[in-house]
Structure 1
């Protein structure tokens, strides 16, 4: 089964942003990345590098594991 990982990542990021009432610019600042980097990921579908994922999770004060703890990533294949 194929997944649009970019869309899954963006949807999950927006969920955390809504829950915490954060803007993209604020997430970028908290994550110590440029706003243009985050905008490219969200608006252009650019795949984030692993170090960028870690920075975003750090900025949101969550673990990478928690960030990706949702279907389809946490489903067990049988």
Structure 2
């Protein structure tokens, strides 16, 4: 079942306002458990984790920046 535009918009807000900060805390905690790696390795870990969190949510974020396709008022 596909989500409506309004539902995807609401879910994207929840993901960005609640999920992303939680994911950042978890990522920083996990990297903190390692002994301090080289700065380039640490940067690559954060970039990789930054891309990885968004992959499952591609369908939710797709088209959110565009106007509502069902909006007749324009």
TM-score above 0.5, yes or no: no
Higher helix share: 2
Structure 2 length-normalised TM? 0.37
TM-score (norm 1): 0.36
- Structure possessing the higher relative contact order (Cα contacts under 8 Å, 6 or more residues apart): 2
